[in-house]
Structures are given as C-alpha cells and as structure tokens.
Structure 1
C-alpha cells in the first residue's frame, strides 16, 4: 500500500479579492476531500485545511500561510506534500495527475 500523502488547502474565511464568484476556501477543501475519496477509494490520503490568518503551531504550515499572504497568492492554495498543485480555482485534472504521479490508481 502507498504511503499516505497529505494535501493541504490554505485559505481564509474571506474570499480572495480576485476570486469573486468562486467557492470559498473551506468549500473547496470539502469538495476536494470528497472528490479525491471518490477517485481513489481505499487509498490512504489526508486533506488538511489551514486558515492563513490563524495558522496552526506547525512551523511548516505557519511559514507557508505567511508566504500565501506575503506573495499575494490567490487562495485557496492547494499543496500535495510540498508542491503547489492549485491556486485560486484549483483544477481536479492537475491534482489527479499529481496523485497518480505519486502512485495513486484511479477507479
């Protein structure tokens, strides 16, 4: 069995100023979690949501949350492990390609 990967969704309650008419970061997080579970059932993965304005104590997550703010990235920003795979309006096709590159098998 594959090693569990972590997908992290960085965002905020307030919508990104350039992302009007798009789902909120939290909605994107929920949607991605469900879509990944359907596409790769019985394969280990973890999806974590990080509020960029109130990040957890985890130093790595805190540093990236600060980077999202400082670099004016469009959020939500989606990372698989340490690779950015989506920003603003993440594309499932791109995320699926990265999952499969890491050994996941689509159903």
Structure 2
C-alpha cells in the first residue's frame, strides 16, 4: 500500500486540563509526546501533528470542531485523523498506529 499524502493528526485541547484529566499530561504535552512516539514508530515517513487550542482558535474547520469539543464536553485532548475522533482523554498509541498503517505507513523490519 502506498501513501498518498501525509496524515495530519490534530490534537484538540486547552492549557487548562479537563476535570477528569487532572493527572494526565496537558493537551500540548500530549501532542508533543505523540509526535515523538510516531516518529520513532514510522521513521523517515512524513506526518503532521497539529495542536489546536480549543479556547483560542477562531476560524475554519478547527474552530468548528473546537466548539464541538467544548459544547459536547468531550474529554480532551481529542485526537482527530481525517475528521474522525480517534481518542478522547488519554490516547492509545496502538489505535493511532493502526490507523496510520491503514493509510500506508510502515514500521521498518528490525
């Protein structure tokens, strides 16, 4: 399977942690952690991790989704790939890896 274009992984969240996420890393820290973990799993393969602050974004699709996160009281960070929610709260790397592999990303043989 061949990759068509790089996947964009959007991490929606805020500086203030949601009530049930107090002991977890911040949304921004989660975005940075995801980026590092995915880069290790799929070296030399291009992808984008975009952090979106749900309280400060003001336009476009990101704004509309940020509103949804707030209005529906979703647990953030909310991880989104291709407009599909992959994780709420503490994301599971395996779920994200599986989706990336479905889109042609390959883990190199050891």
Number of residue-to-residue matches in the alignment: 106
Residue number among 23, 30, 33 corresponding to 1:31 in the alignment: 33
TM-score by length of 1: 0.94
Q: 2:50 aligns with which of 48, 63, 67?
A: 48
SS in 1 for 2:21: coil
Runs of 4+ in 1 over 6 A off after TM superposition: none
Unaligned runs of 5+ in 2: none
Residue matched to 1:22: 24
User: Measured at CA, do residues 56 and 44 of structure 1 come closer, stay the same or move farther in structure 2, by a change above 3 Å?
Assistant: farther
Q: Distance in 2 between matches of 1:55 and 1:80?
A: 18
Q: TM-score, with normalisation over the residues of structure 2? A: 0.92
Q: CA deviation at 1:56?
A: 4.6
User: What's the Cα RMSD here?
Assistant: 1.1
Shift of 1:79: 0.6
Structure 1 segment 80-91 matched on structure 2, within 5 A: 80-91=81-92
User: Does 1:72 find its partner at 2:79?
Assistant: no
For residue 94 of structure 2, what is the aligned residue in structure 1? 93
5+ residue gaps, structure 1, are none
Deviation, 1:106, is: 1.3
